[in-house]
Amino acid sequence: MAGNLNAERMVEVWRGGLLESYHAGHAVICDDKGSVIEAWGDPAAVVFPRSSAKMIQALPLIETGAADAFGLKEAQLAFACASHIGQGFHVKMAEAWVTGLGLSEADLRCGSHEPGDKIERDRLIAAGERPCQFHNNCSGKHSGFLTVTKHLGAGPEYVDIDHPLQKAIWQATADVTGEEAAGWGVDGCSAPNIAMTVAGMARAMGRFAGATGSGDARDRAMFRLASAMRAFPELVAGDTASDTELMRAMDGRVTLKGGAEAYHIAIIPDLKRGIALKIVDGGARASDAVMTALLVRLGVLDAAHPAAKKRLNTVQKNWRGIETGTLQLAEGFL
């Protein structure tokens, strides 16, 4: 798995004129043909992409014919790739989708947790209610999983590694990354997560970036998913989430998807480029900063935009508003 040995120092935290800590990582930019354009750290580092792989996991939703058979809208395709914060509209969409399949919350296998959205969290507390599986940040993905499962007439344990859905995801992952899986683990939502090299993930994102919607079934599926995510960034993350703010800052021209433990991807159709990024210590503040820097470097994000300034080379303040230091790109990186 990814380690510090070959990782490149990318972000530093300074306090009182002294280096306090730093974040190292791996990043790869690929084109739509699978060629590595630029790389930092070790492109061959094997990593779990976590939720950054959701658009790959959603490919069978379209390729099996399930999405069209159930008349899914573009918003639902975006939601199938989401790691949402559990805003009220996220919860309602998940519930409407699952019940529309003739199923119930009990058919989900993602588990429940407190929503990240403070308004929905406070509403639950005030009402004396407990969060349910519709609040899970992966409930959109699992709604898609249930759709494929029902379409195939497969068994209810759709997160089992030998389930027909997971077999389809495994094959799709190998196809788009151009490499065999290095292994798999269980994700936070109980679904299998396939380990791959950072270069393999960048290669897959490059293919998504090059999809035109007029090619073969795989091309059309990739195009529909990435386009839906750009069209509905609030469904992919949430109104206050980093990915949503950055996608809006780029006027819907770039698809972003963060994953747990500081994984991050970008799909840039205008440039036919895909990015995969992993910060080895799992620090999301670093992955946000590095992804922002890469997007600025590629000319698709204005460094002066508030969403960029919020994440790139930022002044750190304490609870009294006193400046204590900076979070900045490491000298020599980029």
CATH of domain 8-329: 3.40.710
pLDDT value of residue 1: 47
Q: Domain locations in the chain?
A: 8-329
> Which three-class secondary structure state does DSSP give residue 47?
strand
Our measurement of the distance from residue 130's CA atom to the centroid of its chain's CA atoms, rounded to an integer in Å, reads 26
Q: What would the pLDDT profile of 35-90 be if each residue is shown by its tens digit?
A: 999 999 999 999 999 999 999 999 999 999 999 999 999 999 999 999 999 999 99
Q: What would the pLDDT profile of 201-210 be if each residue is shown by its tens digit?
A: 999 999 999 9
In contact, 25 and 5? CB cutoff 8 Å: no
Which pair of structure tokens corresponds to residue 108?
């989900």
d(CA 225, CA 269): 13
Q: What would the pLDDT profile of 287-332 be if each residue is shown by its tens digit?
A: 999 999 999 999 999 999 999 999 999 999 999 999 999 999 999 9
Neighbours of 60 (CB within 10 A): 26
Residue 222, pLDDT > 50, answer: yes
pLDDT value of residue 327: 97
Contacts for 160 with CB less than 8 Å, ≥ 6 apart: 166
Q: What are phi and psi of 101, to 5 degrees?
A: -85, -5
246: confidence class by pLDDT, cuts 50, 70, 90: very high
Q: What would the pLDDT profile of 173-191 be if each residue is shown by its tens digit?
A: 999 999 999 999 999 999 9
Distances in Å between the Cα of 75 and the Cα atoms of 38, 93, 113, 269, 322 are: 33, 9, 23, 19, 42
Find, among 121, 110, 111, 112, the residue nearest to 87 by Cα: 121
In whole numbers, what is the pLDDT of the chain averaged over residues? 97
